[in-house]
Amino acid sequence: MHAGSMQKAVVLVSGGLDSATTLAIAKSAGYACYALSFAYGQRHSAELTAAARVAEVLGAVEHKIIALDLSSIGGSALTDMHIAVPDHPSAGIPVTYVPARNSIFLAVSLGWAEVLGAQDIFIGVNAVDYSGYPDCRPEFIAAFERLASLGTGAGAAGKPFHIHAPLMRFSKVDIIRRGMALGVDYSLTISCYAADRQGHACGVCDSCRLRRRGFVEAGIPDPTAYR
């Protein structure tokens, strides 16, 4: 089908495993995908390079990177160099939680969706392996969907928005299996919270640990480049 006649969707793409799988799912569902990433003051730019690769290889119509300096707000190990990324699982909400990050990312996605005439937004959040992040819960996604339809011209005109979180109930193994079935090349993705400039993963942070275990449990060779 020609891209011009397909329904458009904005897909949040971080460069990690989950969002790459989400993009592949949106594509396979027939959407013309507009990939959105943020330069938000994260520790390493390797993930933005990965996001660009993922968007291209998985056939996004366009990939936009928006600069938004959340490090000036601070409060997270992912954006504040003074807070160390932990090398062991933590109780409660981890220090890698970026305050209100998914609210912010979804709000900007919503703005772009409205300009594009899209009513669908995809985000790779996950309530199973979500490491305690409050903005990865189904109730949060439902609340944003309601906000989206109330706070936009399109919504006010009777065109509601749909926030798709297709990985919500998936385990990491489920995600990897689904992505492999859709042909995702996970060697392009970076999940590590503390990757180096070359994109090599640390292997010990929460995110690396979950990803590594996912490949082992799925019985699939882990394509991650560790340092």
Contact set with a second copy (CB under 8 A) = 64, 66-70, 72-75, 93, 97-104, 106-108, 110-112, 114-115, 134-135, 137, 139-140, 143-144, 146-148, 150-153, 155-156
Q: Which is nearer to a second copy, 104 or 220 (CB)?
A: 104
CB 101 → a second copy: shortest distance, Å?
7
Query: Distances from the Cα of 203 to the Cαs of 174, 179, 200, in angstroms?
Result: 21, 21, 9
Amino acid found at 10: V
CB 122 → a second copy: shortest distance, Å?
16
Q: Which is nearer to a second copy, 2 or 139 (CB)?
A: 139
Amino acid found at 106: L
CB 217 → a second copy: shortest distance, Å?
28
Sheet strands side by side (includes 8-12): 32-39, 8-12, 120-122, 162-164
Q: Which is nearer to a second copy, 79 or 191 (CB)?
A: 79
Q: Report yes or no: 16 and 191 within 8 Å, Cβ to Cβ.
A: yes
Q: Which is nearer to a second copy, 130 or 185 (CB)?
A: 130
Q: Report yes or no: 125 and 102 within 8 Å, Cβ to Cβ.
A: yes
